[in-house]
Amino acid sequence: MRRFVLIAIPYTWLVLLFLVPFLIVLKISLSDLALARPPYMPQFDPSAGWAGVKDFFSQLDFENFVFLTTDDLYWKAYLSSLKIALISTFVTFLVGYPIAYGMARAPDEWRPTLMMLVILPFWTSFLIRVYAWMGILSQEGLLNQFLIWLGIIDDPLIILNTQKAVYVGIVYTYLPFMILPIYAALEKLDSSLLEAAEDLGCSRFSAFWLVTFPLSKTGIFAGCFLVFIPALGEIVIPYLLGGSETLMIGKVLWEEFFNNRDWPVASAVAVILLMILIVPIILFERNEQKQREADG
């Protein structure tokens, strides 16, 4: 009975907060746009009995999914989001790995302080941090003023409302999600393995490439998945930093829901986005399972 209760609690959580909302979104994606509240049809009426149930399901169709294939805006948004998420993940890895490596090689008394500095941005609202980057990257912002003061540039750079600003925002926001898993993998690394590699004739770089980097792959995979999955469906960063020229599926989803009030099409976009994210989510779970088995 105790085992059943322990298993039932997380499954109940998943059913209530994932499966049920997903089924609601799926149902809306199979509905039609209507000038009503909520703005879609059909609506299920339990008082109509079995005939009402049959009539309800007979009105559901896949027209919204067909519409997404006919309008190039949506598949271009998916491809653009995929490109931005992949590049952002790669840049985050290039920035995050040296930081995690430095934290793991730092003296023991410094590691809690360095960990706190990595987690410190989470103490501030995500929206406030994005708004802060708007002030930094604008033409009159701190970055341009600093570069002009140094004499590096004469005219302000145009960074805000471009894809460059989106990359900056995503890398800054999700950098801790890359650093922490890599640091956890590097922190457990046995230093005697590096000493043995150097005793056998390896240089420091060769020892790092042949020993340290392979043993940190679990942390790298976990960090890349933790950055790529939310970055693919990011809404706030492209909306505030990217401007009108940046095309991402999260931004399109927001506009369909709140500007166009086309809930059926927006739900179809969300369902396809979730189907795309299932692949990296499954890979992430398998990587976590392998790591738990290795630790056990």
The closest of 218, 230, 227, 260 to 88, measured between CA atoms, is 227
The Cα angle at residue 106 between residues 104 and 109, in degrees rounded to 5: 110
Contact residues for 195 (Cβ-Cβ < 8 A; gap 6+): none
- The kind and range of the H/E element at 187 are helix 163-187
The alpha carbon of 49 is separated from its chain's Cα centroid by a whole number of angstroms, namely 43
pLDDT number for residue 194:
80
Assign a CATH topology to domain 64-295.
Answer: MetI-like fold (1.10.3720)
Listed as ranges, residues in the chain with pLDDT below 70 are 295-296
pLDDT number for residue 97:
96
> pLDDT tens across 166-175, in order?
999 999 999 9
- Calculate what percentage of the chain has a pLDDT beyond 90: 46
pLDDT number for residue 296:
62
- At 123 the three-state DSSP class reads helix
- DSSP assignment letter at 152: S
Q: Where are the domains of the chain?
A: 64-295
β-strand partners of 41: 32
Q: What is the pTM of this model?
A: 0.88
Asked if 182 contacts 216 with a C-beta cutoff of 8 angstroms, the reply is yes
Asked if 282 contacts 230 with a C-beta cutoff of 8 angstroms, the reply is no
Asked if 257 contacts 118 with a C-beta cutoff of 8 angstroms, the reply is no
The residue ranges of DSSP E strands in the chain, in sequence order, are 32-33, 40-41
Asked if 175 contacts 93 with a C-beta cutoff of 8 angstroms, the reply is no
pLDDT number for residue 295:
67
Contact residues for 277 (Cβ-Cβ < 8 A; gap 6+): 229, 232, 233
The Cα angle at residue 97 between residues 93 and 100, in degrees rounded to 5: 135
